[in-house]
Structure 1
Amino acid sequence: KLPGVPASVANSSGIFLGADYIHDLVRPGIALYGGNPTPATSNPMGAVAHLEGTVMQVRGVREGESVGYGATWEARRPSRIAVLGAGYRDGVPRSLSSIHHGGPAQVYLGGRRCPIIGRISMDMMAIDITDLPPSSVARGTRAEIFGKHIAIDEAASWAGTISYELLTRLGSRYARLYPGAESEQPS
């Protein structure tokens, strides 16, 4: 210990451990963005980073038709698909594609969670909206990739990574909106 120099040993995880670990200063990191570095402990901080994609197209798919590069998803019933204008060029990991994990990664759209289907491409991703009321999704509707309804840690887990990586991958095509700011801020 150096006399007169404040001690800082607590990052986000240390903060969640309590006052005995904090000393003079803390270095909150991912917790400031709503990430939880200590899953066994709840994070009292709300998510400040929200990622959304815009529905570019809604279309029907017949039973047996496929969606995505490599025809990796096949409709088991007549289905409705929403195509979002967000892909790996924007920082959405390809590992969220339906072929890369056991259960389907999801987005929040039309008031409920909907599975990502097929492969995520450079500029687009497909969402199965068959179970949503037809009037709940149209061109221009916003879909949450992570935020209030889908925690960033949950999305990161589906992608086989950590929430830090999801945040640092976000591309320049996303508008950065800051509550209280009069207009969109440059990225």
Structure 2
Amino acid sequence: MSQKNIFQDVLAAPLGDMVAEIGTGIANAQYAIDARTIENMKEIYRSDDETITELRNIGYRPTWYVIPEATAEINMALSLRQTLDSNGKTTTELQGTTVDASYQNQYDFNVQASSKLTIKFLPVPAPTQVDDLNIVPNIIGQPLATAKVLLQRLGISYNFSPKNVSDSKIVTATDPQAGELIEADQVLILKI
């Protein structure tokens, strides 16, 4: 391990920053999981593959995975740090340095003298607005009748132009386009 890494490993950090970094790491992991699920969902509605089309027609949606909770236990050496700003105001801050084998060996630190910080992160319900979102399916090239059935199944409101056309006519475009998000109160425009 380089001297720079040893120095960075043992730097004391404000306790709040440490907790925030752990929480951010968990949030980033959940975001990556959610982003992958959304990409899978978009692929289902963009693809013309026969199997994917069948899945789409039966209303298949990818499974959403969540990190239901995460617990972090950290052994650390705690210290108080006081700083004096240019106005003469003193600020006291609780700082922690994680205690691992490297820290113990370098500073001859007794791990039994360390403090243990246990943090539990729990999810909260998603915002209700998420339920009001849908993804525009790829219905370009399909007969209007087929498009109507799929859109009704997905709960997507639609209009088409020109207005008085046969259900056998082919959908040539949509606004918004396939794969884009559409809100529950938004109307999908089908061009025939």
Tell me if TM exceeds 0.5.
no
**TM-score normalised by L of structure 2:** 0.21
Whose helix fraction is larger, Structure 1's or Structure 2's? 2
**TM-score normalised by L of structure 1:** 0.21
